[in-house]
Amino acid sequence: MHITYFLGKIARALFTMVLVVTFVFVVLRATGDPAQAMLPEDATQQDIEHFRSMWGLDKPLYEQYGVYWLNILKGNFGQSYRDRRPVTDIMAERLPKTVYLMTLSIVFAVIIAIPMGVKAALNRNTFIDRFTMGTAVFGFSMPNFFLGILLILLFSVKLKILPSSGSDSWKHIILPLLTTGLAYIGSYSRFTRSSMLSVLNKPYIRTAIAGGLSRNRVIYGHALPNAAIPVITIIGATVGRIIAGSIVIETVFAWPGVGRLLVTSVGARDLSVVQAIVMLLSITIVTANLIVDILYGILDPRIRTKKGGV
C-alpha cells in the first residue's frame, strides 16, 4: 500500500515535470526565434543560418524535442547559447546562491513568525495582537522590490552600514534576507495566529487545561502541533517557490542566483538554460509538496491512518 502510494506520487510528479518541460519547449520556440533574439538586430542571414545549424535549430521541432530528452537521459542538459558553457556548470554556479538566500530567509521567517503568531493568538484583541498583526500585514503587503529599495536607502545610502547589492560577503545577504524574510514573516505569522486561535477553542485543549497541565505544556505540547498543519502547508508552498520567489529580490540586490539567470535567459531565448531552470522549478515544487504530505502524517496521526496515508 505504502509503495503503491509513493509510486503513484512519483509517477504523477514525473508526468507533471514532462508536461511542464514540453510546454516550455514548445512555447519558447513559438514565441520567437532564438537566433534572432540572440544575434544583434543587423545580423546577416548567413549569421542566422550558421547559428541555427550550430544549435540544431534548423531541424524539425519533433527531432529537436527527441534529441533534448535523449540528452537529458544521458545527464546532458545542453549548453548555453550565450557562452557555450554546459548548463549544469552554470546552474552549479548560480543555484547555491539562491538556495543560500532563500533558505536563510525561510528559516529567519519561521523563527520570528511562529512565536509572533502564537503570541498574537494568546493575546487576542490586545495591543500585542494588533501590533504584531499590523507588522505582519505591513510585511506581507509591501511589494518586495519597493521594500528592498527602501532598505537600501536606509541602511546603505543614509546609514552606510550595509552594502547595497552584490554577494561578496556575509554583509551582502542581510538586506535581501530582510526583504524576503519580512514578507514571509507576514504570511507565516498570520497563518500561525489564525490556526492557533481555532485550535485553542477545541475541547481537547479545554480538557488539557482542566486536567491541570501547565500553560506551556498545553500551548507547545498540544495546541501548536495541531495548529502546525496549515503553517506547514504555507511554508511548503514557499519552499517550492524558492527559485521563482527570488527573481525580483535577485534583480534588486544584484544577487547572482538562478532567478536572475532565468529572467536574462528568457529574454535572450537561451533555451537550454530556461528549460533546465523550469525543470528545476517543477522538481522543487513537486518535492516540496511531497515533503509536506509526509509531514502531515508525522504531525497528525489521523492522516497517516487514513486510506492511502503514510
User: Which residues form the interface with other proteins (CB under 8 A)?
Assistant: 31-33, 35-37, 39-44, 46-47, 50-51, 54, 80, 82-85, 90, 93-94, 108, 111-112, 115-116, 118-119, 122, 149, 152-153, 155-157, 160-171, 174, 177-178, 181, 215-216, 251-254, 256, 260-261, 264, 267, 269
Are the beta carbons of 129 and 120 closer than 8 angstroms?
Answer: yes
**CB of 37 vs other proteins, minimal distance in Å:** 5
C-beta of 188 vs 296, nearer to other proteins: 188
C-beta of 43 vs 229, nearer to other proteins: 43
The values of phi and psi at residue 56, to 5°, are 75, 15
C-beta of 22 vs 36, nearer to other proteins: 36
**Cα 257 to Cα 245: distance, rounded to the nearest angstrom:** 11
Residue with cell 522590490: 145
**Cα 154 to Cα 148: distance, rounded to the nearest angstrom:** 10
**CB of 168 vs other proteins, minimal distance in Å:** 6
**CB of 196 vs other proteins, minimal distance in Å:** 12
C-alpha cell at 61: 521541432
C-beta of 189 vs 289, nearer to other proteins: 189
**CB of 12 vs other proteins, minimal distance in Å:** 34
Which of 194, 205, 202 has its CA nearest to residue 229? 194
C-beta of 7 vs 161, nearer to other proteins: 161
C-alpha cell at 105: 530567509
Are the beta carbons of 120 and 193 closer than 8 angstroms?
Answer: yes
The values of phi and psi at residue 159, to 5°, are -80, -25
Are the beta carbons of 6 and 28 closer than 8 angstroms?
Answer: no
**CB of 208 vs other proteins, minimal distance in Å:** 17
C-beta of 70 vs 111, nearer to other proteins: 111
Which of 197, 208, 183, 205 has its CA nearest to residue 230? 197
**CB of 120 vs other proteins, minimal distance in Å:** 11
Torsion of CA 7, 11, 14, 19, to 10 degrees: -170
**CB of 310 vs other proteins, minimal distance in Å:** 31
C-beta of 34 vs 236, nearer to other proteins: 34
